[in-house]
Amino acid sequence: MDIQTLLARFATGDTLAASRLMSAVERGGVDAESVLDALFARTGRARRIALTGPGGAGKSTIADGLTQRFRVAGRTVGVVAEDPSSPFSGGAVLGDRVRMTHAVGDAGVFVRSVASRGSEAGVSPLACELADVLDAFGRDVVLIETMGVGQVETRIRFAADSIVVLLTPESGDEVQSLKAGLLEVADLFVVNKADRAGADGLAADLTAIAGMRAPGAWQPPVVQTVARDGRGLEALETALAAHADWQAAEGRGEARRRDALRERVRALVEDKWRRAWWQDATARAEFDDMVERVAAGSVSPYRAAREIARGLTPRASR
């Protein structure tokens, strides 16, 4: 079936067409761009929520629990799972992880996993693009589950309206070293597995970190959950709603979305430029030659880069 037919079916709410369009986006290239071009005008309605945290923190369980609650409230849900440890994305080889049990057989829930490279942090451009498709498909909420912390990538800010950083009492040591990153990124903190020792201490640390925000800025709430039993999920849902309300009242939601679009265009331009450079035989030959000279010690990497860059001025074609 060609892209135009799929797009027409997609517009009528055809789940299979949605799935195939996502596959086209995943394959990349010209088809991916035309799909995303065509769908862009329909995006912007969904509330995007990113769940990030280390493996084993319970992101999938939280995603499952939140999905249930959103469904009860009558909202449709899309899930993009980028965490390599997520059962959604074919992970969980060794452990017994929770399955997204409630999603099975509910047409109001659409789950899509991303084949993650397993070694990069943050939300990939692909995950954002799949979120676009789910948004255009009319999902009220799009959850993006992604591996994070160790390092929290500040780039994640551009992926969602609300960023939920999920930790467990075991994350205490890391929290200390991640203060700045967490502070920049989190809109909400969740201390999951809060029935374990150390939960209150971690929550207190996170509350202290949240309190370092500038006056007038959003103060990230800290919610304790035991996701496996559903404990704390109502509070989390309430906190997410409060964040959305605050953004709407302060006009911050639009500003963040504009920043995200800006960042996205910038990244796409750089990507296109990089490909063009890499695919130009003459430019590649010059680069290879220069690397030889660097390896031979006859020129430094810095001088080599200067000489190459001299021929690559950004606006030279005008």
Residue with structure tokens 């903190």?
Answer: 189
In the shown chain, the binding pattern of residues 28 to 57 toward a second copy, with x for contact by CB under 8 A and - for none, equals -----x--xx--xx--x---------xxx-
- Shorter beta-carbon distance to a second copy: residue 117 or 214: 117
d(CA 121, CA 156): 9
Q: Does 173 bind a second copy (CB under 8 A)?
A: yes
Question: Using CB under 8 A, which of 27, 45, 196, 303 touches a second copy?
Answer: 303
Please choose, out of 82-90, 135-143, 212-220, 245-253, the segment that lies near a second copy by the rule CB under 8 A: 82-90
Q: Are 179 and 209 in contact (CB under 8 A)?
A: yes
State yes or no: residue 99 binds a second copy (CB under 8 A): no
Q: How far is CA 79 from the centre of its chain?
A: 11
Residue 300: is it exposed, middle or buried by C-beta count within 10 angstroms (0-12/13-18/19+)? exposed
Per rule CB under 8 A, is residue 287 in the interface with a second copy?
A: yes
Q: How many residues sit in the footprint of a second copy (CB under 8 A)?
A: 86
In the list 14, 26, 31, 170, the residue contacting a second copy (rule: CB under 8 A) is 170
One of 204, 212, 242, 295 touching a second copy (CB under 8 A): 295
Q: Which is nearer to a second copy, 92 or 223 (CB)?
A: 92
Residue 227 in contact with a second copy, rule: CB under 8 A: no
Contact of 128 with 139, CB cutoff 8 Å: no
Among 83, 145, 161, 187, binds a second copy (CB under 8 A): 83
Query: For a second copy, which is the closer residue by CB, 64 or 83?
Result: 83
If binding is defined by CB under 8 A, does position 95 make contact with a second copy?
yes
Stretch that binds a second copy, among 3-11, 158-166, 222-230, 301-309 (CB under 8 A): 301-309
Q: Per-residue x/- mask for a second copy, residues 106 to 145, rule CB under 8 A?
A: -----------xxxxxx-----------------------
Query: How far is 286 from 45, CA to CA, in rounded Å?
Result: 47
Pick from 69, 75, 179, 231 the residue near a second copy by CB under 8 A. 179
| C-alpha angle 67-130-120 in degrees, rounded to nearest 5 | 95
Among 94, 107, 197, 249, binds a second copy (CB under 8 A): 94
Q: Using the rule CB under 8 A, give the single segment among 60-68, 106-114, 242-250, 299-307 that binds a second copy.
A: 299-307
List 79, 103, 149, 163, residue binding a second copy (CB under 8 A): 149
- Other Cβ atoms less than 10 A from the Cβ of 244: the count is 16
**Is residue 311 within the footprint of a second copy (CB under 8 A)?**
yes
